[in-house]
A and B are shown apart, each in its own frame.
Chain A
């Protein structure tokens, strides 16, 4: 399985600012995903990070608020823009590779974001 790291592990930010979260994988992976887990709730898929093209966003999530980059097969970033307290969540990166079933996803440790 892939080893996934995220930076930062946690942050406390002021309203109106932006935070970029990095996801690094130790091997090339086809698919990378970004999830949000709000307090007391389940994981919700934000978007699929596509290498070399624009991310594919789920309903309710837009590029202006959550711009994503995927410059290569081992790295992706998620930016949470113009933050408000409602953005306080854990943000998780996950990866999937062919041969293991696209459904078998491996998750990073998460980034705990608190917006004041």
Chain B
């Protein structure tokens, strides 16, 4: 079964400190992983996907198949990074050909001045 685990409900850091939001997954196939973010009073939006190997807003995430992890990192947190972050896993295609997303429970990041 596919599962995404985000062990921290809340991560509180000071501005300028490094941030690491943890995500571990369970999936027997070749996973595709994503980080979604929800800022206060805004809708859920895609932050980055592992397949793109990109850095968005200073955030990066590396897929570690050995550790089945996809932790989200940023070297210097900013106050505007405060938000709810969800890790998600894309499973095998459904009958429609599209893949279902399985979400973790989310981590709230709070960056204090």
Instruction: Contact check, B90 vs A110: say whether CB atoms are below 8 A apart.
Output: no
> 8 Å CB contacts to B: which residues of A38-60?
41-45, 48, 50, 56, 58
How many residues belonging to A are interface residues under a CB distance threshold of 8 Å? 24
How many residues belonging to B are interface residues under a CB distance threshold of 8 Å? 23
> 8 Å CB contacts to B: which residues of A12-32?
30-31
Within 8 Å CB of B49, what residues of A? 101, 103-104
Within 8 Å CB of B51, what residues of A? 101
A78 in the interface, Cβ–Cβ < 8 Å?
no
Within 8 Å CB of B34, what residues of A? 103-104
Instruction: Contact check, A31 vs B98: say whether CB atoms are below 8 A apart.
Output: yes
Instruction: Contact check, B96 vs A31: say whether CB atoms are below 8 A apart.
Output: yes
Within 8 Å CB of B105, what residues of A? 41-42
Instruction: Contact check, B44 vs A107: say whether CB atoms are below 8 A apart.
Output: yes
Residues of B within 8 A of A (CB): 32, 34, 43-46, 49, 51, 86, 90, 93-101, 103-106
